Amino acid sequence: MQLRTIDYSKAKEILKIEDLRVSFNTYVGEVKAIRGVDITLYEGEILAVVGESGCGKSVSFQSVIKLLDSPPAEYKGGKILYQGKNLLEASKKEMQDIRGSEISMIMQDPMTALDPTMQIGNQISEGLRRHNKGMSKAEAEERVVKMLELVGIPDPDKRLKQYPHEFSGGMRQRVCAAMALVSSPKILIADEPTTALDVTIQAQIMDLLHDLRKKLNTAIVLITHDLGVVADMADRIVVMYAGKVVETGQVEEIFYDSWHPYTWGLMRSMPKLNETSKVELATINGMPPDLFMPPQGCAFAPRCEYAMKVCYEEQPPVFPCGSDSHCSACWLMDPDAPKVKQPFKKDGEE
């Protein structure tokens, strides 16, 4: 069992996403990608965000640092509160100051995060010097070399003069990790940070994230399909489906005491807590809904073996599940609903 470092009764909120709605206006219509997302992040925690491809993990957190091109993206509503400020209303200048220094992101696709026309050393040190006025070029370069070394790039003092296309996919991912970590941000969003990396480097990057949290109390959002990583690293889990959060809870609550049928489906391949091998989210029969025309009720209903009439008619509200940290948006939690419980036991057996 993982040792918890967070006492949630005392934990301080550092970021609050409230009723976020994001659409993409495409030539064939509006994709309602994020349909009212609420997520709170606490100082010093590692929050895992899981869910099938296309459920809105990346878009939710790219919204936090306003990385989405608009158009096609359009913020339709909600707030992203950071230190009392709604980031959706922040100016370009304010976002530049925050991005990279206070909140940074390791992008799922490293090529989108790197400028192909700039040497990687300059790319990393540029942000560092922008946020640390008075830091000399030599000091910045020294820090960049250390950081590149830390993320496992051999010969960093030579490689910092190279351009992104001179690096393999895995190496570019490491460069992105170095860029995100170099300013010791208060919030680090890591979007599938290790998918392109071999197991040893994956473990090194994960160790780095752990260290960062321990030393600087950094809050880390870890978007991943790997339940082994979630079990090993996370304090809390947010489960997303079709542009909404369907369940939130501490890691044991989601692994062993989940209340949402979608989570049950995902966790069918559940690893033991602290399992280090790769365990992917299970696939669930059926398809997620068309986000051009999201359903009026629960988006999971056509795939849910417990669906009731109400599920097709009304969106389920968020119900508490017995602790302050655990809640589920499912009609099964309604006092009038039939009693159904997670269909697998603590040890992961059916």
Q: Give the binding site for ligand SF4 (CB under 6 A).
A: 261-262, 298, 300-301, 304, 306-308, 311, 316, 330-332
Considering only residues 90 through 119, tell me which ones interact with ligand ATP, judged by CB under 6 A.
Answer: 108
Residues 255, 231: Cα–Cα separation, whole Å: 8
Nearest distance, CB of residue 10 and ligand ATP, angstroms: 31
Total residues in contact with Mg ion, by rule CB under 5 A: 2
What values do phi and psi take at 19, rounded to 5? 45, 45
75 binds ligand ATP (CB under 6 A): no
Residue from the set 15, 17, 20, 24 that interacts with ligand ATP by CB under 6 A: 24
3-state secondary structure of 176: helix
Nearest distance, CB of residue 304 and ligand SF4, angstroms: 3
DSSP sequence for 293-321: S--SS-TTGGG-TT--HHHHHSPPPPEE-
Residue ranges with strand state E in the chain: 13-26, 29-42, 46-50, 73-82, 85-86, 103-106, 187-191, 219-223, 236-241, 244-250, 319-320, 327-328
57 binds ligand ATP (CB under 6 A): yes
Question: Considering beta carbons, is residue 35 or 129 the nearer one to ligand ATP?
Answer: 35
300 binds ligand ATP (CB under 6 A): no
Residues 296, 216: Cα–Cα separation, whole Å: 43
Nearest distance, CB of residue 57 and Mg ion, angstroms: 5
Q: Are 272 and 64 in contact (CB under 8 A)?
A: no
3-state secondary structure of 225: coil
Burial class of residue 144, CB neighbours in 10 A (0-12, 13-18, 19+): buried
250 binds ligand ATP (CB under 6 A): no
Task: Read off the tokens for 77.
Answer: 């509503």
Question: Which of the listed partners (ligand ATP, Mg ion, ligand SF4, none) does 304 bind, with a CB threshold of 5 to 8 Å by partner kind?
Answer: ligand SF4
Question: Which of the listed partners (ligand SF4, ligand ATP, Mg ion, none) does 291 bind, with a CB threshold of 5 to 8 Å by partner kind?
Answer: ligand ATP
56 binds ligand ATP (CB under 6 A): yes
**Which listed range, 12-20, 52-60, 149-157, 274-282, lies at the site for Mg ion (CB under 5 A)?**
52-60
Amino acid identity of residue 244, one-letter, is: K
Task: Read off the tokens for 218.
Answer: 């950094």
Q: Are 17 and 243 in contact (CB under 8 A)?
A: no
**DSSP letter, residue 282:** P
Nearest distance, CB of residue 308 and ligand SF4, angstroms: 6
Question: Considering beta carbons, is residue 44 or 51 the nearer one to Mg ion?
Answer: 51
Nearest distance, CB of residue 253 and ligand SF4, angstroms: 17
224 binds Mg ion (CB under 5 A): no
Strands 46-50 and 219-223: parallel
Nearest distance, CB of residue 331 and Mg ion, angstroms: 28
Residues 318, 271: Cα–Cα separation, whole Å: 27
Residues 216, 186: Cα–Cα separation, whole Å: 8
From residue 30 to residue 49, the character string flagging contacts with ligand ATP as x (rule: CB under 6 A) and all else as - is: -x-x----------------
Residue from the set 23, 40, 58, 101 that interacts with Mg ion by CB under 5 A: 58
Nearest distance, CB of residue 174 and ligand SF4, angstroms: 39
Instruction: Name the site residues for ligand ATP (rule: CB under 6 A).
Output: 24, 26, 31, 33, 51, 53-59, 72, 108, 291
Instruction: Name the site residues for Mg ion (rule: CB under 5 A).
Output: 58, 108
